[in-house]
Amino acid sequence: MQNGNTNKIWELLNTVPDPEIPAISVVELGVIRNVIFQENSFIISITPTYSGCPAVKAFQDDIKICLKENGIENFELKIVYSPAWTTDWMAEETKEKLRKYGISPPSEKAICPQCNSKSTTLVSEFGATACKSFHKCNDCLEPFEHFKCI
Ligand SMILES: [Zn+2]
């Protein structure tokens, strides 16, 4: 039986990339609410970024695979919808990683991740996924995705 070292679980979770934005981990995205050890199993609470976001299923599968590969079998994933995830849970360094990856991080206004121009045009409310909108920069003309602010 494993001991209840939740730090180890956090470490492992931090190696699981966001299925949509591989540059950041599910921990950096801020969807892991907490990890507790209870009755000999780890309870991992997850708050999806957007309810109905198809990535939620992918998150869970990736987390399960990662933990099992590391010999951890005694865990349970719990989806927690309240309080709802907000982009405020995203750390500044995570936003920086998004920018480097070419995605405009959550903010009131979509800023071009290539040239930092604030002069951008909304092309579509939805990008590759419902969590992002699609924009075009008026200065460097590069299209980019903006992580929606919620
Ligand atoms: Zn630009």
Q: Is residue 1 part of a domain?
A: no
Q: Are 40 and 59 within one domain?
A: yes
Q: Is residue 19 part of a domain?
A: yes
Residues near ligand 1 ion, CB 5 Å cutoff: 112, 114-115, 117, 137, 139-140
Last residue of a domain, one of 85, 113, 131: 85
Q: What digits encode the pLDDT tens for the residues 1-57?
A: 456 899 999 999 999 998 888 899 999 988 899 999 999 999 999 988 765 666 778
- CA pair distance 121, 118, nearest whole angstrom: 9
Q: Are 98 and 81 within one domain?
A: no
Q: Are 46 and 103 within one domain?
A: no
Taking the centre of ligand 1 as the mean of its atom positions, its distance from the CA of residue 118, in whole angstroms, is 8
Q: Are 77 and 103 within one domain?
A: no
Q: What digits encode the pLDDT tens for the residues 79-122?
A: 998 888 888 888 899 999 999 999 999 988 899 999 999 999 99
Q: Are 53 and 107 within one domain?
A: no
Given a contact cutoff of 8 angstroms between Cβ atoms, the answer to whether 21 and 101 are in contact is yes
Q: What digits encode the pLDDT tens for the residues 124-136?
A: 998 777 788 999 9
| Total domains in the fold of the chain | 2
Inter-CA distances, 100 with 18, 65, 73, 118, Å: 15, 28, 35, 17
Taking the centre of ligand 1 as the mean of its atom positions, its distance from the CA of residue 27, in whole angstroms, is 29
Q: Are 78 and 115 within one domain?
A: no
Kindly report the pTM of this predicted structure.
Answer: 0.84
Taking the centre of ligand 1 as the mean of its atom positions, its distance from the CA of residue 139, in whole angstroms, is 5
Taking the centre of ligand 1 as the mean of its atom positions, its distance from the CA of residue 143, in whole angstroms, is 8
Q: Are 64 and 97 within one domain?
A: no
Q: Are 10 and 81 within one domain?
A: yes
CA-based nearest residue to 20, from 29, 33, 11: 29
Taking the centre of ligand 1 as the mean of its atom positions, its distance from the CA of residue 98, in whole angstroms, is 15
Given a contact cutoff of 8 angstroms between Cβ atoms, the answer to whether 120 and 112 are in contact is yes
Taking the centre of ligand 1 as the mean of its atom positions, its distance from the CA of residue 23, in whole angstroms, is 21
Q: Which CATH number goes with the domain that contains 30?
A: 3.30.300.130
The phi, psi pair for 96, rounded to 5°, reads -65, -40
Please give the residue range of the domain that contains residue 14.
6-85
Last residue of a domain, one of 40, 55, 85: 85
Taking the centre of ligand 1 as the mean of its atom positions, its distance from the CA of residue 120, in whole angstroms, is 8
